Amino acid sequence: MEILKITSAQNATIKKLAKLSQSRKARREANLVVLDGEHLCQEWTSEFEYLIFTERVPTFPTKQLIQVPESLMAKIAPTKSPSGLLGVIKKPGFENEHDQSKPGFCLLLESVQDPGNIGTIIRTAAATGVDTIFLNEGCADVWSPKVLRAGMGGHFKLQLVENYDLTQIKQDFDGPLYGTFMNGENLFATKLPGKCGFIMGNEGAGISENLNKICDQKISIPMHNNVESLNVAMAAGVCMYEHLRQRHQ
**CA-to-CA distance for 167 and 158, rounded, in angstroms?**
21
Residue type, 101: S
Q: Is 87 helix (H, G, I), strand (E, B) or coil?
A: strand
- Tell me what the pLDDT averaged over the chain comes to: 93
Q: Would residue 37 count as lying in a domain?
A: yes
DSSP characters over 146-185? HHHHHHTTGGGGSEEE-S--GGGGGGT--S-EEEEEEEEE
Number of domains present in the structure of the chain: 2
**Parent domain of 14:** 3-90
Whether residue 207 has pLDDT greater than 60: yes
Q: Hey, which residues does 180 pair with through a beta bridge?
A: 219
Q: Would residue 95 count as lying in a domain?
A: no
Q: Are residues 49 and 74 in the same domain?
A: yes
Do the beta carbons of residue 151 and residue 143 sit within 8 Å?
Answer: no
Residue 190: give its domain's CATH number: 3.40.1280.10
Query: Does residue 204 or residue 67 have the better pLDDT?
Result: 67
pLDDT-derived band at 203 (thresholds 50, 70, 90) equals confident
Averaged pLDDT for residues 199-206: 92
- 144-197 per-position pLDDT tens digit: 999 999 999 999 999 999 999 999 998 889 999 999 998 899 999 999 999 999
Residue 54: give its domain's CATH number: 3.30.1330.30
User: Please, where are the H alpha helices in the chain?
Assistant: 12-22, 24-30, 38-43, 70-76, 115-128, 145-151, 209-212, 232-247
pLDDT-derived band at 102 (thresholds 50, 70, 90) equals low
Question: Nearest-CA neighbor of 181 among 218, 214, 145?
Answer: 218
Q: How are the residues of the chain apportioned to helix, strand and coil, as percentages rounded to the nearest 5? A: 35, 20, 45
